[in-house]
Structure 1
Amino acid sequence: MTSPNPPAKRSFASRFDGEKILLALAAPVLAVLLSVVLCSVLLAVSGKDPFDAFDVMIRYGTASDGQVLTLNRTTVYYIAGCAAAFGFRMNLFNIGVEGQYRLGVLFAAYVGSQVDLPAVIQVPLLLVTAMLVGGLWASVAGVLKVYRGVSEVISTIMLNAIATAVVGLLLIPGRFAPAKSANANAIQTAPVSESSHFFSIETAGGTLWGFIFVAILIGVLFQFTLTRTRFGFDLRATGRSETAAKASGVNVKRMVLTSMAVSGAIAGLIGIPELLQSSFYFGQSIQLNLGFIGISVALLGRNSPIGIAFSALLFAFLDVSGTQLPLQGDYPQEIVLVMQGTIVICVVVAYELVRRYGLKRQQQKVGAELAAQAAAAAANKEVAA
């Protein structure tokens, strides 16, 4: 006998589980709050007023020049986060983002200094060069994992060290650096050609890098690939369970190789904004540790393109505003590094707490639904009787 009250169709708005969204936001928010509390305690113990320190950071970070610097830094961090996250979604820990981006930007700088084509050809050429170098370097770890069973964590860490040695080997006078340099102490490539310069936007707060639109495009393509393509489905399925993916016909070895190559290709673009819009050469002044920052950004953003955007913005804000701490109050700038590090640690703790709470809530919902179904069945029996 059919139920006297058939269930109504779910509305469009009801498809969005508000509690699920809150749980997804709870972990990163809790991690940031815990980090702020810990850093406040450290500042108070050292005899500094934490509220004044945060006030300095907020005032500079929200000023026009601070906003521009933050967006420029966010562009770099977002690309780094996407590079790490692409591997993480496949359950591959690409720790070699650091070496991949350094080699990518080095070769792009060298090609840009040797070739001078029209900008519509020159800029894409440098982008492709950086992506190819980064992708090929990451593929080494993929090949070792697929055919020799070497953990990608170990191989990518070792490849970082090898990449550093390769950069030092190539960046000497007569190779990638000019044979004769006006400053013998500054070892760097020749400046890239004028046609290699990427467009920028002049604002009241300074020069905004046009590469921010490339970063947005990377995020859109990342999200589209994950949610709207067969490759993205196979990627997520393999990341959840290689055994199940293999049983459903997914070529796991090919997925590992492809994912590592794509992750490395994105990593190759990390240093391009600074190369084409700021320094215009590769040298000792190139920013280091961007790959490791990208891993932190990806973890905080839960490997989601949208989450990574907010995570990159937060890390960029901390970096840019933190430079004012020693200048406006004699605060230690290292507190920013402490805050970033504690955020990463707190992320692990917060995610576990939220996961356990979410599991408990899910069990409660299932229990409530089973109880409701049992009550409805008993009511139907009474009506039938």
Structure 2
Amino acid sequence: MEEEEEEAMLNKEEEEDDDEEDYNIVKFQNSPLRNRAIMVDEVAWRLKNGDLMMRIEAAKEVRKMVRKSSNSNSKSAVRCRFAASGAIEPLVSMLNNWFPLSAREAALLALLNLAARNLRNKTRIVSLGAVPPLVELLKCQTGNLRELAGAAILALSSAASNKPTIAASGAASLLVEVLCSGSVQGKVDAVTALYNLSISEEGPKLIVDVKAVPPLIHLLKECKKYFKFAEKTTFLLEIFSSSEEGRMAITNVDGGILTLVETVEDGSSISMEHAVGVLLSLCRSCRDKYRELILNEGAIPGLLRLTAEGTSVAQERARTLLDLLRYSPPESRLTSSELERIVYDFTVHVDGTDKAVETAKRLLQGIVRKSMELSFSRVKIRASSCTPSKIQST
């Protein structure tokens, strides 16, 4: 997970009153390293040996010590020292449902701060059994706790070794619930967590309910198409486009295809690649059904641009999709003159009148070449289906 996402995750926590800073925190910031270690060890001892109220206050102290550290190096040192002092295990224990919600929230906030930018702590938190109680907290009707649990799943899912455990826990379906009904930040956290779990190279492929599609498209509509968040959203939508149920969900959302077309036009290179992948998946599955829907949203200019400026994968997908959009039944076929006019108008807008003819010619030649390659490939496939024995027997 990117550093800015973890910062956003921590910044969204409910801020405490900082007007009366605890004296020990001030002392911690200004003391030598040896005294810092002593203070961390004292807090860890209270987490392990104190009564309920003492443990809750100690958990709050963990969060304060990390957040009040003066710089990133200091924060990292505090996180490592807390882990070395054995503070993680009692904090994980406090997540369980036999503790009151106040204790669970304090422990959750402490663990979020210990996990941020620390792969070893993330792995340790999961190995000590944090995932099952976090899944239970995702079911909580208290919005703040549910979304803090989602933020924790997000943080922990960025560690590759944690992904199989989280994916097997049933967290994905609960993240979809957050995606459907949570706050904007809760939805963003849910999308990123689902993305992290979907790119796992270990364990079975993550199955996500298609009811995630409408909020995904809505979020893509609202965000800047070149943001990293759009890359994660379009990645998930491309996964959904591989099934008929997912394709129907995408096209049933008002403005769903238009949002993908706009991403092809305005997205980053990665989100463009995924967005055109979705459109291509739709058209390949049933060209007669989806061709007009895609053309009606004005996809041609963005696809033409992508054939020249996209990644190698995006260029190939755009060319293939253009070919599918052109070759259609006679009554709805895009004529050569129509295509030439569209290409010329597009290149005038991009390169100006002086270079438009040259650029349009190059783009049209690329489309024709690709079409010929596909046609030749089909001929080869048909020819290979005729074995020598069949030829001799005819």
- TM-score tier by shorter-chain length is under 0.3
Instruction: State the structure with more CA Rg.
Output: 2
1 or 2 for the larger relative contact order (CA 8 Å, sep ≥6)?
1
TM-score relative to the length of structure 1: 0.23
